[in-house]
């Protein structure tokens, strides 16, 4: 048998090699420019940041902080009792509905009874007469307040009880342990006087009495008993 070789007629199409050349030429033709990968990544990050920012600040940019305030808390460094003639600066903290503190808020301060205690635009309260006065701070649609009670007591005279020469002699005559504890309590009374802190003054007087009561016996016990009378005298002056 004779093997036959067949071939495609030339008129039916280009040879396979020519077609491959055409395809290569098409692929090698003009293409749309591709953006650098770094640029695409930066654009994606920027879009994500913008989206997150919109979700975290529903009020949008430029909204005054006062419009974000839901609640206001007013606090005092000396609790809620003041002495006639003394002053104290209150602090106001504004918060959003979720409890987040709002900074940059301008508060409007007011007092319900200025004859008892008045307040200025910075939250400084001046006690004028015995009684009560509610001090409020407002911002936007929110208001917070603190009811202050003003009493007429002489904190200087109470603290001076323990700087009396006889009281000093009582304390110095105690043993080292009892003396150090009582002296610490008396120092707290002096700090309460300086701050105008009525509540702290009561606490230190009770502490002096408590330390005096722990003295076991002997000469220290006699000295402590007399010192307890001084503390009791201070508490009576404080409650008068």
DSSP letters, 51-108, are HHHHHH-TT-TT--GGGG--EEEEE-EEEEEEETT-EEE-EEEEE-TTS-EE-SPPPE
pLDDT given at position 63 = 79
| CB environment 211-234: b (16+ within 10 A), e (fewer) | bbeebeeeebeebbeebbebbeeb
Q: What percent of the chain has pLDDT over 70?
A: 75
* Separation CA 150–CA 116 (nearest Å): 7
Angle at which helix 176-195 crosses helix 198-213, to 10 degrees, equals 170
Query: Per-residue confidence at 84, pLDDT binned at 50, 70, 90?
Result: very high
> What are the tens digits of pLDDT across the range 154-193?
999 999 999 989 999 988 888 888 889 899 999 999 999 9
Euclidean distance between CA atoms 170 and 164, whole angstroms? 10
- Domain limits of the chain? 66-151, 155-239
The pTM score is: 0.70
CB 161 within 8 A of CB 233: yes
Over its C-alpha atoms, the chain yields an Rg (Å, rounded) of 41
Which residues have a Cβ under 8 Å from the Cβ of 180 and sit 6 or more positions away? none
CATH number at 66-151: 2.60.40.1080
pLDDT of residue 60 exceeding 90, the answer is no
Q: Is the pLDDT of residue 19 over 70?
A: no
- The overall average pLDDT reported for the chain is 81
What letter does residue 174 receive in the DSSP assignment? Answer: S
Q: How far is CA 123 from CA 87, 113, 145, in A?
A: 10, 15, 11
Residues 6 or more apart whose CB falls under 8 angstroms from that of 190 comprise: 159
Alpha carbon distances (Å) from 214 to 171, 184, 186, 208: 14, 15, 16, 10
30-44, 57-71, 113-127: segment of lowest average pLDDT = 30-44
Nearest residue to 179 (alpha-carbon basis) of 169, 189, 188, 166 = 169
């Amino acid at each position: 048998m004779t093997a036959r070789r067949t071939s495609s007629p030339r008129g039916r199409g280009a040879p396979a090699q020519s077609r491959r050349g055409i395809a290569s030429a098409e692929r090698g033709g003009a293409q749309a420019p591709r953006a650098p990968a770094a640029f695409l990544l930066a654009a994606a990050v920027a879009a994500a940041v913008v989206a997150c920012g919109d979700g975290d600040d529903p009020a949008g940019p430029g909204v005054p902080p006062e419009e974000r305030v839901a609640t206001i808390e007013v606090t005092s460094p000396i609790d809620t009792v003041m002495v006639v003639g003394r002053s104290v600066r209150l602090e106001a903290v504004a918060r959003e509905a979720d409890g987040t503190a709002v900074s940059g808020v301008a508060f409007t301060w007011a007092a319900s009874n200025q004859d008892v205690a008045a307040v200025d635009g910075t939250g400084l309260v001046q006690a004028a007469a015995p009684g009560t006065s509610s001090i409020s701070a407002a911002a936007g649609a929110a208001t917070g307040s603190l009811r202050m009670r003003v009493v007429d007591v002489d904190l200087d005279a109470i603290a001076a009880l323990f700087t009396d020469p006889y009281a000093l002699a009582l304390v110095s005559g105690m043993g080292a342990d009892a003396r150090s504890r009582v002296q610490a309590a008396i120092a707290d009374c002096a700090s309460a006087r300086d701050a105008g802190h009525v509540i702290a003054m009561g606490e230190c007087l009770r502490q002096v009495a408590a330390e005096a009561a722990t003295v076991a016996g002997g000469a220290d016990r006699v000295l402590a008993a007399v010192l307890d009378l001084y503390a009791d005298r201070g508490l009576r002056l404080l409650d008068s």
